[in-house]
């Protein structure tokens, strides 16, 4: 796994973002995270933070994972994108993966996230 992986987290709930970071630290992942809540923050972070991977909540008050994914695809198609959500249905998640989203996980199953991140980063490295 890449040391100091740069993770961009799209999340409007500070407690959920903290929980996500704690779970990743518990797994032993070495990372730097930036949390954004808006489209503008997301677009700026893509350029300035230069993430290795993006973790996005499915639905935010003024922004959503589908929009974030489309922006990412247009500007940085090689960055893996994982949806982490408690509200996305299985059907929606499968459709998004068919459309190119790297993976998804439920907020109630964060224990699976480090494995999905590792796989996504390794796949991205192979594609390069």
How confident is the model at residue 26, as a pLDDT?
94
Asked if 55 and 112 touch (Cβ cutoff 8 Å), the reply is: no
Neighbours of 52 (CB within 10 A): 20
Neighbours of 79 (CB within 10 A): 19
Domains along the sequence of the chain with CATH = 5-123 (3.40.50.2300)
What is the Cα–Cα distance from 15 to 46, expressed in whole angstroms?
A: 23
List the pLDDT tens digit at each of the 128 positions of the chain: 446 899 999 999 999 999 999 999 999 999 999 999 999 999 999 999 999 999 999 888 888 889 999 999 999 999 999 999 877 777 777 788 888 899 998 888 899 999 999 999 999 889 87
How confident is the model at residue 3, as a pLDDT?
60
């Amino acid at each position: 796994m890449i040391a100091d992986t740069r993770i961009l987290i799209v999340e409007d709930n500070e407690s959920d973002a903290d929980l996500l970071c704690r779970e990743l630290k518990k797994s032993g992942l070495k990372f730097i995270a930036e949390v954004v809540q808006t489209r503008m923050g997301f677009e700026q972070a893509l350029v300035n933070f230069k993430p290795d991977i993006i973790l996005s909540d499915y639905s935010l008050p003024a922004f959503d994972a589908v929009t974030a994914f489309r922006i990412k695809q247009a500007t940085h198609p090689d960055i893996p994108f994982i949806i982490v959500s408690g509200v996305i249905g299985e059907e929606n998640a499968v459709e998004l993966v068919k459309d190119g989203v790297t993976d998804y996980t439920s907020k109630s199953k964060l224990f699976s996230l480090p494995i999905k991140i590792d796989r996504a980063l390794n796949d991205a490295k192979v594609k390069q």
